[in-house]
Amino acid sequence: MIRLLIQVLLFSFFWSTAQYKTTHYNTSNGLPHDLCYGIIQDNKGYIWLGTDDGLVKFNGKDFKVFQIKEGLLSNYVIDVCEVNDSTFAIASWGGGMQILQKDKIIPYKNQVKSKINKIENLSKYLFAKGVGHKYHFYSKEKDDFKETIVSYYLDKTLVPTTSAVVNSTVKPQFEVVDNEIYLFNDVLFSNETIKGVYKVISPTQIELVFPFLKNEYVNDIKKIADNSFLAVTTNEVVFFSKDKIISRKTLPFKNSNIRRTSIKNNTMVLVLQENDGKAEKVVVWDIKKNTFFDVTEKELGGKQVSDVFIDKDKNIWISVYGSGVFKLSLESRFQIRSDLQNNNIYDAVTVKSKIFFLTSSKIIGIDTNRNQRDSLLYKESLWKFDDFTKDTLLLKTKESKGSSVVRQIFETNVKISSLEHLVYQDSTMLIKHGDNNILIKKGDKWYKFLFDGAIRRLVKKENKIYSCTNKGLFIYNLNTLILEKEITSQNGILNDDIRDVVIDGEKIYIATINGLSIVEKGEIKNYNENIGLLSLNINCLLLDNHGILWLGTQKGFSIFKEEVFYSFYKNAKENSSYIQKIVEDENQQIWLVGNNGSMKIDNKNAFSPVSSPILDINRTENKFYINVISYDDFEIITEYKINNSEWESLKTDLLDFTKFQYGEYQVVFRTRNTNSNWNYSKKHNITNAAPWYKQWWSYSLITLFISSLLTLILYFRFQHVKERNELLRQTIAYNENLQKELSEVRENVAQDFHDELGNKLAGITVLSGMMIEDEVFKSSVWFKQLFRINKDAQDLYFGIKDFIWSIDSKNDDLSELIFYLKDFGEELFLSSNIEFNSNVDIEKEHVKLPYYWSRQLLLLFKEAMTNTLKYSEAANCSLEVKVSRNKLKITFADNGKGFDITSLKRKNGLINMEKRALKIQGKLEINASKGTKIKFSNRIF
């Protein structure tokens, strides 16, 4: 570096024409205040800035501000320095020194409010400049930051003191070099008061260093390299080692003092103060080129410069007291300059220093050497350029009609060509092609090759022609005139529809409508997904003079270099959104044409990517907070990849794995500008564990608990059921005993009624019957009474007989009821003209009827049979009994005249039958439309 500086100083200075792009940050675009002070860049890449309204952290896009509400003791932040990773010391006016750790204010034991305006980090101390003549040492040994205040006074040499301020105290400026504090003159406040440079050994000890500078008023000092330093005086730069001065150079700044510097590589930034102490400006010195670039007082808003530094990407940052912050960045060599806007350009071709553009109705020409333009208007619908032969430029129209008319632009003849497209022509060969054929003339002989598909483009390279069609790529040998190779999707390329081809030695670049395929030595490599291309639909290709591939797509253009695509989006309304053609002229200018004019790029130097953005990833358990740091103006792309899945675009600055399914994950992040390489993060392993209540052991515990609980419940339930069963068994036994006793009572009652009441009624019936048969009684006045007694006795006997039958428990059997009803019917209809039939269909031999059923059913169907005998005039009647699945059905029917229920005057019999059915919860159906049918049904429990 020193050797380079010495060489530079042999030449005269001159003012640079280099262009810096200025970006101004103030309150209108995010800063909390325009009064700005110290500015630094930390080891992660963030810019930190002190302002009159808080501390600012900047990532190139967003300003994060720390103020009193975040824990600051004062919003007047004058300076900040990095202590270690994610820890910073803040110097504020009125709040003293405070510690910021991981974006949080951390209180400490010996915190004292004071006024300090500059702070630096040393191995054992934080060193700060305070109000008046005070300098503050904050000890870092126990993290208690115990404060020691010293002042410096002149007594032939500079002397530190912790005593009261004396009259000869001074205010030296300081700089940290190799983690050591160096004190020197402060031109801003003290003018020329301190000579030489002093190194601070401890709070109470300093020593004069670099003795060869002891008589110099040094305004700043910087380290250039190992054992290489520079110091600035009023208008000189002194280059020296630890032992001697190597060289010194007076800079061409009259009436100005160099107040402050910043240097990185070959760039030095100088802050100049006019001798009147009012105006300031910044000068950028390119040491290698020995040129200067001015940032004037007007550009800085006429304000005082608070601080300057050069960041890791060589951007220059200027903090201004009252005008915010300025960022100076060298304009990229890769500058895109737009031209011919509002013209849809179909094609472009270069002829020496001239370039011609084709629209639907005109040719536009530009002579790049003379910087002149011209154009030709056409009535025909122009389509594309054909070829340049000798001094004539051929072009095609959509009408595909040739013309003999020759026009001229920039001494170049222009003619509309015939049907076929001319590809190549010399004294030995001519090559043309139509929509689906190739014509080759060798000598006097023509050869024709036909295709099934349409020919997109034909390219001649050495002794081969490459035919791009919508059926694949066909390669012909011009020496043998045979098809040498056919490359289609069946061979492995992305698509058969091929738009363009470029040949580079043994490598063939193939542009398809589905991405880029590269064929080399029989191997095919495809690029079609997650590769950075703006669009997979590629229109055209160009291999530039540096061997770098350019691609025009439906959404912009890309550059392919070292297996990486650098893509350039439509970032301004004057740029084309899709690219039709890319050409390079003899001055190594790249021209890209499309739907909105042309774009020109200086390509004298090979394209190289810019610095990649910086990834700052903060992880809180299974949540990732992603910050991307970049101070370029290019669009930033940030992606993440989980396990072996495809890369996905990151839409927000948070990736929350707590919302993912439970399991093991590995995630990696990457970021890039559209024209930078990818910057990858480290791999992060995530265990997205289920909550305790979804862990296997919790399931086991829950299962065990539930099983135990169920077992306990079942045990008590079993005991309860056991007790109930025992009670039920006792109840059943008791009921069975009661039933048995009741049956015995019913049998006894029935027997007693039969023996006592039945016999006596039978006797009365017999005796009264004998009396009314006697001729003496027939003529007696008592005959009617005796006849009535006999009838009533018979009715009473038979009624009592039914009652006695029903209360007898053995007659609860269905078979007994059936037998009784059949016997009653046969006897009832025996002496009538009505034939009685019965049909019995029961599943079991013995069916026990519930108590009281037999009596109700007996009386119900006796009533039905009696009514049939009295009123039906029937010839037949039947009784049907059926039991199926515990359901009893008894039906009595006749084929008599039936009756109309609504016209009956007396309905007692029917009502009594319905009541008897209801008493045993049965269903009774009566149908008397065609004969009479009485049907009873109920389930036997």
Taking alpha carbons only, the member of 230, 234, 232, 213 closest to residue 177 is: 230
Q: 845 in the Ramachandran plot: left (φ > 0), alpha (ψ -120 to 50) or beta?
A: alpha
Contact 636, 628 (CB under 8 A): yes
**Confidence (pLDDT) at 803:** 65
**Confidence (pLDDT) at 523:** 92
Contact 195, 214 (CB under 8 A): yes
- Using DSSP's 3-state secondary structure scheme, residue 746 falls into helix
> Over the range 442-454, which residues count as b (16 or more CB within 10 Å of their CB) and which as e?
eeeeeeebebebe
**Confidence (pLDDT) at 591:** 93
Residue 446 confidence (pLDDT) above 60? yes
pTM of the model: 0.66
How does pLDDT run across 453-470, given as a tens digit for each residue? 898 899 989 999 999 999
pLDDT band at 302 (very low <50, low <70, confident <90, very high): confident
Provide the token pair at 635: 């669009």
Residue 539 confidence (pLDDT) above 80? yes
Please compute the mean of the pLDDT values over residues 402-417 and round it to a whole number.
84
Which residue did the predictor score with more confidence, 290 or 19? 290
How does pLDDT run across 80-105, given as a tens digit for each residue? 999 998 899 999 999 999 999 999 99
How does pLDDT run across 201-218, given as a tens digit for each residue? 999 999 999 999 999 999
**Confidence (pLDDT) at 848:** 85
Which residue did the predictor score with more confidence, 534 or 474? 474
Which residue did the predictor score with more confidence, 423 or 917? 917
Residue 12 confidence (pLDDT) above 50? no
How does pLDDT run across 718-769, given as a tens digit for each residue? 888 888 888 888 887 777 777 666 666 656 665 555 556 656 666 776 677 6
Judged by average pLDDT, the poorest of 480-484, 712-716, 772-776 is: 772-776
CA distance 50 to 56: 6
Residue 256 confidence (pLDDT) above 90? no
Measured in Å, how far apart are the chain's first and last C-alpha atoms? Answer: 114
**Confidence (pLDDT) at 785:** 73
Taking alpha carbons only, the member of 833, 778, 562, 767 closest to residue 677 is: 562
**Confidence (pLDDT) at 737:** 74
Contact 330, 314 (CB under 8 A): yes
**Confidence (pLDDT) at 635:** 80
**Confidence (pLDDT) at 741:** 62
Contact 639, 669 (CB under 8 A): yes
**Confidence (pLDDT) at 191:** 56
Please compute the mean of the pLDDT values over residues 536-554 and round it to a whole number.
93
CA distance 500 to 540: 5
Q: In what order do the strands lie in the sheet with 614-620?
A: 614-620, 623-629, 654-656
Contact 319, 262 (CB under 8 A): no
How does pLDDT run across 612-640, given as a tens digit for each residue? 899 999 999 899 999 999 998 778 889 99
Please compute the mean of the pLDDT values over residues 233-246 and round it to a whole number.
91
pLDDT band at 8 (very low <50, low <70, confident <90, very high): very low
Contact 509, 524 (CB under 8 A): no
How does pLDDT run across 368-396, given as a tens digit for each residue? 888 899 999 988 888 888 877 777 888 88
Residue 702 confidence (pLDDT) above 50? yes
Listing DSSP states for 615-633 in one string gives EEEEEETTEEEEEEE--SS
**Confidence (pLDDT) at 402:** 66
Residue 851 confidence (pLDDT) above 70? yes
Which residue did the predictor score with more confidence, 318 or 444? 318
Residue 2 confidence (pLDDT) above 50? no
Round the average pLDDT of the chain to a whole number and report it: 86
Contacts of 503 (CB under 8 A, 6+ apart): 459, 461, 466, 509
Taking alpha carbons only, the member of 537, 532, 604, 543 closest to residue 568 is: 532
Percentage, residues of the chain above pLDDT 90: 45
Contact 145, 97 (CB under 8 A): yes
